[in-house]
Amino acid sequence: MLNIILAVKRIKEKLVLKATKKGIWEDFGQTEIGKLKDKYGYEWYGTEKEKKMAEEIDLLENWCMSFDDRMLEEWKVIMGI
């Protein structure tokens, strides 16, 4: 479980850096989410562990969908960019 939490954190940081350079685009983060689903599996009807991993992926997807310029500025401050 800790692995997926760390992976999500790294993906968020990577996406913030990309958004700083390229801006925010329509399907922001979808490539990374797809890779995460492939790597960790995405199963809402599996074991409790699988459900928790699916929940973490969904939280990341929601974060990506709501990511905007205001959030970008907040993350840049958090990351010290």
pLDDT digits (tens, 9 = 90+) for 13-29: 999 999 999 999 999 99
Per-residue confidence (pLDDT) for residue 17, from 0 to 100:
96
Other CB atoms closer than 10 Å to residue 37's CB: what's the count? 15
Neighbouring C-alpha atoms within 13 Å toward the C-beta of 40: 26
The encoded tokens of residue 59 equal 């939280």
- What's the confidence (pLDDT) of residue 43? 86
Tell me: the pLDDT tens digits for 40-49?
Answer: 888 888 899 9
Which two structure tokens, joined as six digits, stand for 64?
């990506």
Strand (E) or helix (H) holding 69? helix 69-79
Give the whole-angstrom CA distance, residue 29 versus residue 62: 10
Q: Tell me, what's the pLDDT at 41?
A: 85
Claim: this prediction has a pTM higher than 0.75: yes
Is the CB of residue 35 less than 8 Å from the CB of residue 10?
no
